[in-house]
Homo-oligomer: A and B are copies of this chain.
Amino acid sequence: MAAMFEKVALIGVGLIGSSMAHAIKRGKLASHVSGYARRAETLEKARKVGFADSLYDTLEPVVKDADLVVLATPVGTYGELAKDIAPYLKKGAIVSDVGSVKSAVIRDAGPHIPAGVHFVPAHPIAGTEQSGPEAGFAELFDGRWCILTPPAGTDAAAIEKLKSFWQALGSQVDVMDAHHHDLVLAITSHVPHLIAYNIVGTAADLETVTQSEVIKYSAGGFRDFTRIAASDPTMWRDVFLNNREAVLEMLTRFNEDLSALQRAIRWGDGDALFNLFTRTRAIRRSIISAGQDSAAPNFGRIPPKPEKNQ
């Protein structure tokens, strides 16, 4: 059977790019995978892991002759990159991306895509708190959702091809409007990251509780937030700068609800607290039934090695 693509170009070989490369190899989805990284250090790491057939720090050789070009760097770089790769894009190629925001990508990269090249933005909803070429693995997308947000008028065959590609990478695929995607992700991903970063910052800055206490006693809940707050800073800065409206809208609602809880605590309204705390359990159960998380307690997390007993 012929591979799905002759050549796939990955512009960026961090967690997502390198995981795509591994999954492409696993599924034999391309005859050649080329990779681009700006920094020599990143290229060297990628070379050592060995998931790409060719690696360069310039765009031309990476993009040349590719049937599929995927932008997999922080979303703030997409406009510039799209402009820079445009001269080398093959007629009929698909340009896609993996950015966590989609309206901004269409706004920034869209205008640079030449006629005859198909632009199909995508967002695989998968990741870990780690980053870089050594963090990738083939199973990252298995069972996860990937959302495509093609602008109106995009070639139907190109959409279909990218859909099959993501299914072959292990994902389930949905197609939706970019604006709606950005709203959904603001609540399911962006605001959760923001409040995780925020509480870890708040805890670090206290004078009444030392940082060492925060670390020692983190098993009560805080440690879960630190995982999310260990995600790649550049990627997340760009997400917030590029999904401003939706994040601010969701944040306003979060704050309103939090004020109500704060008031319930101040006035000792136990029923209000109990009612919310009961309602939220149902959502957890639905996420587990939908196959989006493990039912094992504590995520079935690998037990850390205990420190020597005092």
| Residue A153 lies at the interface, judged by CB distance under 8 Å to chain B | no
- Nearest chain B residue, comparing its CB with the CB of A295: B304
Residues of B with C-beta under 8 A to A304 = 143, 288, 291-295
| Residue A47 lies at the interface, judged by CB distance under 8 Å to chain B | no
Residues of A in contact (CB 8 Å), total 123
Structural contact, B292 and A237, CB atoms closer than 8 A: no
| Residue A108 lies at the interface, judged by CB distance under 8 Å to chain B | no
Give the most central of A244, A248, A297: most B CB within 10 Å: A297
| Residue A39 lies at the interface, judged by CB distance under 8 Å to chain B | no
In A223-244, which residues have CB < 8 Å from any B CB? 223-231, 233-234, 236-238, 240-241, 244
Structural contact, B218 and A129, CB atoms closer than 8 A: no
What 1/0 mask marks residues of chain A from 256 to 276 whose CB sits below 8 Å from any chain B CB? 011001101110101001101
| Residue A187 lies at the interface, judged by CB distance under 8 Å to chain B | yes
- The chain A residues found within 8 Å of chain B, CB to CB, are 76, 100, 125-130, 135, 139, 142-145, 147, 167, 170, 172-174, 183-185, 187-206, 208-209, 211, 213-231, 233-234, 236-238, 240-241, 244, 247-248, 250-251, 253-255, 257-258, 261-262, 264-266, 268, 270, 273-274, 276-281, 283-288, 290-307, 309-310
